[in-house]
Structure 1
Amino acid sequence: MPEIVIVGAGFSGLCVGIRLLRRGIRDFVILDAAESVGGVWRHNTYPGVAVDIPSATYSYSFEPNPHWSRAFAPGEEVRAYAEHCATKYGLRPHLRLNTRAEKAVFDPAADRWRISTSDREFEARFLVCAVGPLDQPRNPEIPGLDAFTGKIVHTARWDHGHELDGRRVAVIGTGASGLQVIPEIAERAAHLDVYQRTPIWVLPKVDFGIPPAVRRLFRLFPPAQRLVRLVTTLVSEIVMVLGIVHYSKAPFLVRGTELLCRAHLRRQVPDREIRRKLTPRYGFGCKRPSFSNRYFPAFTRPDVTLVTEPIERVTASGIVTRDGVERPVDTLVLATGFKILQPGATPPFPVVGLGGVELGEHWDRERYHAYEGLSVPFAPNFWMMNGPYTVTGASWFSIIEAGTTHIVRVVAEARRRGARRVAVRRGPHDAFTADMRRRMKGTILAQPSCARSNSYYFDRRGEAPYIRPQSGLYVWRRSRTFDLDDYEYTR
């Protein structure tokens, strides 16, 4: 039986494995339900899928990728980067693919986790859940959806065998995925109806092909790419941290960004009524914004209709809105995102700790909380990457690396002390949680307008435990300096 089980072979799980190997810890396995690595980038292959931050920032800091073809890399290149990292850092022997984790139960007598999977049962001293939040597609709760006789496709599970050319297509959802796929579908469908519940803030996208000469420079002289990464990271940090996290201290940054977004919309959409429908009525940052130069122009096409009237029901061959209008549909595309802050999604499988407490049910009942976004007192020897209060800073990779550094430090310390059980102490855990909730009051997420955003940042209570109200730089430093004695080690 392995000493450590990591669930998830996306970038989070791969990073945990890489850092363990660097510490000389080789007794671990990485489980994943898919047939290959990549996580969300393995599943999301819809037309137009790409990163929504600059490519230079979207990679491990220790493994820059000089081969990105564009400033905003297409999804297939990101997936190839994951495969590259798995091979280069020797993770292939540790992978257990086509193996879905179904339940994990802590055995207090043995101080070990018993993990039931679709293949077999694993037993391990330590368990790391590294399944990303964008894992389980969420279907809208619309009456009649099951009765639709046409083709239904979710953006997170795209069917490349289904042709869109010449068909009448409807897209439900205008979030980050919808923003990317809608322009692609508009160019192929006979007619496209876009059903929008909440508009999205859209920034101009400074995207361009990276010339071969520049890629060659990055490959031969990595400091050049690291400099670009530093610049793009700083710009993103200023917008994310100063504008959103410290909104009460610098509201002008949010207001200035909103003006830029509105100007972008005015330049691309001359029709005043369409512009009104596409303009958010909530503050920038309440909901995940994005970059695009093609999204708004799609609504100026004569064969694209923006529908903002609420959907009443789906019929066998169309969609009926509240005003009684039925629009025929051949193919229904669900760009409706993922299950995140709800039982069965965070964590993505039942995790039963001390006293029979199941983590997902506990969080749903008692509010979300986790020390440094990673651990709770009643689940010893367990960490959850991408848990409550983790998302901040310029890049998902900075979050991953900070969480991984934290976990590997504690695992190494437990091994050094010969500890069978390690659990975060109640005092540090509660102090961290109280600090996060206090800091959240100064963010844009505490503003009343956010109630209109329909954002996955918020749970059913209207709280936003998805976001960590601190800078990415602070979280990076904290992962390297937190007191290891904030954990209790039992021999």
Structure 2
Amino acid sequence: MTADNGGHAGVSGRGDYAEHPEHTERPEHPEHTSHPDTEGPEGPEYPGRTERPSHTERREHPQHAAHTDVVIVGAGFAGIGLGIRLRRAGHRDFVIIERAAAVGGTWRDNTYPGVACDIPAQLYSFSFRQKPDWSRVFAPGAEIAEYLREAARDEGLEPNIRLSTQLQSATWDARHGLWRITTSRGDLTARVLVTAAGRLSEPRLPDVEGIASFAGPRFHTAAWRHDVDLAGKRVGVVGTGASAVQLVPELARTAGEVVVFQRSAPYVVPRDDRAFTASERAFFAEHPEALGAARDALFAAAEAGFAQKSHGSTAAAEHRALALGHLERQVADPELRRLLTPDYEIGCKRVLISNTYFAAVASPTVTLEPSALQSVTATRATAASGASYDLDALVFATGFETTELPFSRRITGRDGRTLADQWMLGMSAYASTTVHGFPNLYVVDGPLASLGHNSAVEMIETQISYILGALAHPAAVLEVTAGAERDYTAELDRASADTVWLRGGCSSWYLDARSGRQTLLWPGTAAAFRARNGTFDPAPYVASRASTAHSSATRSSVLPSSAPPFSATHSSAAPSSAPHSSPTHSPAPQAAAEAATPPPSTPHQADGAPVLA
């Protein structure tokens, strides 16, 4: 699986395929007060907002809905990370709403056999809350979910989290300068709305003729049926993305027969994974500076992989040779090897990591069907090639809705347009975070804010820093100008034009089918994203101090933003661990850094999230 994100706050999207009941657990929590405690030290991360009222005051708002300064939608990495940074800065006036009955985002939801991260754990974690005792270089999914639960608990976030609470609508009220929010457990108003639901929260399912007639169990990998025993059964797996590459080897050991429906072959490279020894874990616990140095080394190694994303580059050719060499070593049958060889440039789709997938596909238990699942009748599944198979169960490893985020249909901006309408030709946002026409809305892990070579958590932390800067601004309402958003988007579109994502000869989940734009991936390094978007700049915003802000708003500046121009790389950026954590890391013993760092040949994948087909 791959990593990150999410807290889920949107339309279910599982449709006919999932047979599990809706969440029924409704944990009790304190009644909403007018706002949580807001008193506390101003703090370096949240300066300037000392005018907030104390927690004993009551603020009246339209329709007397419970009011809070900030509502965060989703309790995955992004929502929990922002909540931690807010609380550490002394800010208590926020609520995190989470539609599920527990925190953890995509790592809570994805519990299929073999689920794990494809970014090293020491890098796929908060820089400001590092964990010295990860069990492996690439952490299992359950361990990441526990890391997030522990973070929420130990950082005191639980009073701010409303579980089993789904966002139903959010509408900007220009007269009062706030968001009116309807949830499944009551109404809220908030000055600021942050969507932290991510792009791996809504399972994507193909349109398969006759799927409702299938006699056996059928479900998505993100809604694994642990009550279904697949031992000895005939199982169809639809998709060959990151989740499938992890799942198929597990099923091959227990199922009677596995049929893998492959629309297109993925590139797969070796996975340099191993368990950390007890002495290594103890060393990192005793020497935080060594853990920081190990993280920095992993970050630098991952950043070097961005060169592989340039169309026709030497780095891409070397990466392809690594993948094809891995295939040749693991699959002896030339015909099967031909079917498993991609017909597009490496990196055009997500590059996967596994030491066991090819061996599983080559085993007697597994049949590779080199075409998509087309139709189903009772227990028989027919592929686009015309081949048909008798199956007892169907598992959909078909990824998530990534370019048309379901929560966007529930958010209505200043002019009565939904965010989905605004994005009808593809997502866009200034600084990959704010959208013209949607004042005081911040989108984390949305347009052009993902990576194809490094950790998603690095990007999330940069966006969190940007949001904290915006919250510290004295204006009650901030709205980015249309021109700033348009220019930023055009600049990144130009930067994407010569990448493998657009010129690699494939159709991928990075592209918006409506416009053909690449709307997900930042076309540069994580360091360049931090340099460009890590500090809030008010220049391109319309700002107002008044509660009736929009009618009396004045432009904070008519000058161009002071943010640096786009650069795909930024060699002067500080190490990964430095900008987000207070300790200054000194060099660690060479042996410790090497022990935590996979060999340079290991290409880190798309940002660590549970992947799509």
Per the normalisation by structure 2, the TM-score is 0.76
Q: Cα gap change, 1:32/1:47 in structure 2, threshold over 3 Å: closer, same or farther?
A: same
Partner residue in 2 for 1:385: 444
Query: How big is the shift at 1:219?
Result: 0.8
> Of residues 467, 481, 491 in structure 2, which corresponds to 1:425?
481
One-letter code aligned to 1:455: S
Answer yes or no: is the 8 Å Cα contact 2:84–2:155 preserved in 1. Answer: yes
Structure 1 runs, 4 residues or longer, greater than 4 Å off: none
Partner residue in 1 for 2:595: none
CA distance in 2, matches of 1:330, 1:315: 12
Q: Secondary structure at the match of 1:128?
A: strand
Point out where structure 1 has 5 or more consecutive residues left out of the alignment: none
> Of residues 199, 222, 244 in structure 1, which corresponds to 2:288?
222
Going by fraction, where is helix more abundant, 1 or 2? 1
Q: Secondary structure at the match of 1:324?
A: coil
Partner residue in 2 for 1:101: 167
CA distance in 2, matches of 1:72, 1:348: 32
Query: How big is the shift at 1:23?
Result: 2.6
Query: RMSD of aligned C-alpha atoms?
Result: 1.4
Q: Secondary structure at the match of 2:68?
A: coil
Partner residue in 1 for 2:428: 369
CA distance in 2, matches of 1:229, 1:465: 28
Partner residue in 2 for 1:313: 375
Partner residue in 2 for 1:458: 511
Partner residue in 2 for 1:243: 308
Matched, 1:328 2:381: no
1:463-485: per-residue Cα shift (whole Å, max 9, x none)? 21111112100112233345222
Answer yes or no: is the 8 Å Cα contact 1:133–1:346 preserved in 2. Answer: no
1:144-177: per-residue Cα shift (whole Å, max 9, x none)? 1111010102100001111010111110000010
Partner residue in 1 for 2:62: none
Query: How big is the shift at 1:346?
Result: 5.0
Point out where structure 2 has 5 or more consecutive residues left out of the alignment: 1-66, 546-613
Q: Secondary structure at the match of 1:125?
A: strand
Q: Secondary structure at the match of 2:339?
A: helix
Matched, 1:195 2:261: yes
CA distance in 2, matches of 1:318, 1:60: 46
Query: How big is the shift at 1:440?
Result: 1.1
Matched, 1:435 2:491: yes
> Of residues 143, 146, 159 in structure 1, which corresponds to 2:225?
159
Answer yes or no: is the 8 Å Cα contact 1:191–1:304 preserved in 2. Answer: yes
Q: Secondary structure at the match of 2:368?
A: strand
> Of residues 37, 47, 50 in structure 1, which corresponds to 2:113?
47
Matched, 1:29 2:92: no
> Of residues 502, 510, 530 in structure 2, which corresponds to 1:446?
502
CA distance in 2, matches of 1:379, 1:180: 39
Matched, 1:287 2:349: yes
Answer yes or no: is the 8 Å Cα contact 1:234–1:394 preserved in 2. Answer: no
Answer yes or no: is the 8 Å Cα contact 1:153–1:334 preserved in 2. Answer: yes
Q: Structure 1 vs Structure 2: percent identity of aligned residues?
A: 38
Answer yes or no: is the 8 Å Cα contact 1:32–1:98 preserved in 2. Answer: yes
CA distance in 1, matches of 2:276, 2:195: 36
Q: Cα gap change, 1:348/1:176 in structure 2, threshold over 3 Å: closer, same or farther?
A: farther
My pick for the range that moved more, 314-323 or 194-203, is: 314-323
Partner residue in 2 for 1:473: 527
CA distance in 2, matches of 1:202, 1:195: 17
1:234-264: per-residue Cα shift (whole Å, max 9, x none)? 121111x2221xx15x701111000000000
Query: How big is the shift at 1:348?
Result: 5.0
Q: Secondary structure at the match of 1:142?
A: coil
Q: Cα gap change, 1:341/1:323 in structure 2, threshold over 3 Å: closer, same or farther?
A: closer
One-letter code aligned to 2:459: I
CA distance in 1, matches of 2:387, 2:412: 48
1:365-394: per-residue Cα shift (whole Å, max 9, x none)? x43210011111100010111111111351
Answer yes or no: is the 8 Å Cα contact 1:194–1:304 preserved in 2. Answer: yes
Answer yes or no: is the 8 Å Cα contact 2:219–2:396 preserved in 1. Answer: yes
Answer yes or no: is the 8 Å Cα contact 1:155–1:334 preserved in 2. Answer: yes
Query: How big is the shift at 1:349?
Result: 4.6
CA distance in 1, matches of 2:409, 2:90: 29
Q: Secondary structure at the match of 1:432?
A: helix
CA distance in 1, matches of 2:456, 2:374: 37
Q: Cα gap change, 1:272/1:400 in structure 2, threshold over 3 Å: closer, same or farther?
A: same
Partner residue in 1 for 2:199: 133
Answer yes or no: is the 8 Å Cα contact 1:102–1:349 preserved in 2. Answer: no
What are the residue-to-residue correspondences of 1:69-80 with 2, within 5 Å?
Answer: 69-80=135-146
One-letter code aligned to 2:495: R
One-letter code aligned to 1:209: A
Query: How big is the shift at 1:336?
Result: 0.6
What are the residue-to-residue correspondences of 1:260-299 with 2, within 5 Å?
Answer: 260-299=322-361
> Of residues 542, 548, 561 in structure 2, which corresponds to 1:488?
542
Q: Secondary structure at the match of 1:182?
A: helix
Answer yes or no: is the 8 Å Cα contact 1:346–1:387 preserved in 2. Answer: no
Answer yes or no: is the 8 Å Cα contact 1:38–1:82 preserved in 2. Answer: yes
Matched, 1:210 2:269: no
1:392-425: per-residue Cα shift (whole Å, max 9, x none)? 3510110110111111110111xxx2x2311112
CA distance in 1, matches of 2:409, 2:156: 27
Partner residue in 2 for 1:254: 316
Q: Secondary structure at the match of 1:187?
A: helix
CA distance in 1, matches of 2:519, 2:387: 39
Q: Secondary structure at the match of 1:66?
A: coil
One-letter code aligned to 1:434: A
CA distance in 2, matches of 1:278, 1:348: 37
CA distance in 2, matches of 1:308, 1:2: 53
CA distance in 2, matches of 1:425, 1:24: 30
One-letter code aligned to 1:435: E
Partner residue in 2 for 1:406: 466
CA distance in 2, matches of 1:79, 1:385: 19
Answer yes or no: is the 8 Å Cα contact 2:493–2:518 preserved in 1. Answer: no
Partner residue in 1 for 2:605: none
The size of the alignment, in residue pairs, is 477
Answer yes or no: is the 8 Å Cα contact 2:408–2:419 preserved in 1. Answer: no
Matched, 1:143 2:143: no
My pick for the range that moved more, 478-487 or 303-312, is: 478-487
One-letter code aligned to 1:410: A
> Of residues 399, 408, 413 in structure 2, which corresponds to 1:337?
399
Q: Secondary structure at the match of 1:431?
A: helix
